[in-house]
A and B are shown apart, each in its own frame.
Chain A
Amino acid sequence: MKKKTMSKNFRSKLITFGIVIAAYLIMQILIGTGNVSSLLKGLLVPLCIYAILAVSLNLTVGILGELSLGHAGFMCVGAFTSAFFSCCVKESGMPPALRFFLAILIGALSAGVFGILIGIPVLRLKGDYLAIVTLAFGEIIKNLVNILYVGRDENGFHVSFTNSLSLNLSDQGQVIINGAQGITGTPSDSNFTVGVLLLLVTLFIVLNLIHSRDGRAIMSIRDNTIAAESVGINVTKYKILAFAVSAALAGVAGVLYAHNLSVLSATSKNFGYNMSIMILVFVVLGGIGSTRGALVASVLLTLLPELLRGLNDYRMLIYAVVLILMMLFNWAPRCIEWREKIMHRIKGRGKETKEADV
């Protein structure tokens, strides 16, 4: 019995990794043979970014069971801290691979720290209230970054919240974060391969966390907080753990994002609540709690509007229809029944005859 469950988890994990690797290989072959449009090529890194975001948000929404609408805020933290670091050491002659590796660590760590800082007060709330507060924090982070000015000269760093002139930089000084204009000249270290690698690392962390002692504790809180407390689960600790890991992984997505563009600025389009809600859409339509579902939904729903570009005016209409269809497929009771029947028919055949013999 024991071996069976181990292998079941393991097999499911292998399938998830397999899907990602297979998709990567197919894309590489297509690129190699020149069958990929430049439009699609430009989408490859964003695809990885969205997939990482969806998988990480699923940890908060699906596994911990708390609704968070501030995920883009953590992505913003990861993007800016890592881009800041990369710009600072750009001219120091550090090898690019090491620089990017450190940038990823810094982005993940700082987003994780923000996750803990925000999580401690916020996770006392539940449901709609938590969603509203996380939404607010996400916006606060974005707007703070928009008025942040950081410069550097031979005397060290200068920080201001008014404008770049009040930094009082010397002649050799240089503005690194320039308020609403953000950071320019971030080295473009992101590419599809790095993106897929980071996605695999994210999946590794999330799936292993879920299928461990801590994962069980987190899910027990989701299923019944009072019972979890009664068997000695430290509810606050595990809520914050899940929230912080989720935030740190969103930070990783932010690092990828920042190093994919030469200009990084916080707008409502990339780090605002629109983004947070889009990630939530991926998670919900992928089937809340299903890591693989979140992964697939994020890829499909990112590709769809672009693939439908030829249809011009109708593409957002079709996008909306697909959203509704996915929602019905995943959540309508009739559809769930129908899916179970199909699954039963596929899996059940061998078993039924066996049981009949007994």
Chain B
Amino acid sequence: MALLEVKDLGISFGGLRAVDDFNLEVEKGCLYGLIGPNGAGKTTVFNLLTGVYKPGEGIIRLDGKDITGHKTIEINQAGIARTFQNIRLFKELSVIDNVKVGLHNHNGYSTLTGILRLPKYYRVERQMEEEAMKLLQVFGLDGEAQTLASNLPYGKQRKLEIARALATKPKLLLLDEPAAGMNPNETQELMDTIRFVRKSFDMTILLIEHDMKLVSGICEKLTVLNFGRVLSQGETGEVLSDPEVIKAYLGE
């Protein structure tokens, strides 16, 4: 059974049919790409999957569990974490605190414990500190743990967003244009990081990307969206040589 199953998903904004009859199956452990021209509805699909928008119709199942129309926090707790196209970090918090917010639901103590500084506070905080540092090390951010998130260079901000998403211990990670605004070197580095994350966290990843080098380099399967509809779907090689896809998106 696929980890993520989407059936006949659709949503309209006024008269605009943003996503129509969208079907998707992402197997566990797969690195799946979602591509298409600007305005095709890729980010809308992400927003539907994470509960930012309520689907007009269709069913979304994660690990066999129906999560259609659930709230964003419930969907996160069910196991979907995401990054954003326009970076959304907690800018006035330090790098490590950004990750700790991601760990929030996995390491708990009550408000009173926090205010009174009971022993449990110190124990859980130490544990969170260690977990957060481990994640930061994966992304090479451990040296800047105390820096304010807004003071990080662009490429590192993107990485921190991925680290924060991973901190919520998801089953499925959604990356919305992780390579946007990166130079070729940074993109190459990012590809390595994504591969590493997938291997070491045993993660299933669904990503939106325009950088075809990245897409053809790491994605095993692709779905191409155009005007809210699926244009082509399947193995990366096949999809990229599909004449329809070349005509609508890649260019002849």
Contact = CB atoms under 8 A, between A and B. Distances in A.
Contact of B81 (A208, A220, A226, A231): A231
Contacts of B164: 231
A223 B114 contact: no
Interface stretch (B72-80, B196-204, B236-244): B72-80
Contact of A231 (B128, B146, B168): B168
A227 interface: yes
A217 B104 contact: yes
Interface in B82-96: 82, 84, 88-93, 96
Contact of A227 (B89, B117, B146): B89
B100 A216 contact: yes
B101 A233 contact: yes
A189 interface: no
Contacts of B125: 212-213
A155 to B, nearest CB: 40
B84 to A, nearest CB: 7
Interface string A226-238: 1111111111000
B154 interface: no
Most chain B beta carbons < 10 A, residue from A2, A213, A216, A235: A213
B82 A230 contact: yes
Tell me whether chain B's interface is mostly helix, strand or loop, or mixed: helix
Contacts, number: 102
- The secondary structure that dominates the A interface is helix
Listed residue (A1, A208, A216, A231) with the most chain B CB atoms within 10 angstroms of its CB: A231
A148 interface: no
A232 B73 contact: yes
A214 B101 contact: no
B191 interface: no
B89 A223 contact: yes
Interface in B143-183: 145-146, 164-165, 167-168
B50 interface: yes
A224 B91 contact: yes
B115 A5 contact: no
A67 to B, nearest CB: 17
B89 A224 contact: yes
12 contacts: A1-B145, A205-B115, A209-B115, A213-B109, A213-B114, A217-B101, A226-B88, A227-B90, A228-B101, A230-B82, A235-B73, A289-B92
Interface of B: 50, 52, 72-73, 76-77, 81-82, 84, 88-93, 96-98, 100-102, 104-105, 107-109, 111, 114-117, 121, 124-126, 128-129, 133, 145-146, 164-165, 167-168
Interface of A: 1-2, 4-5, 204-205, 208-209, 212-217, 219-220, 222-224, 226-235, 241, 289
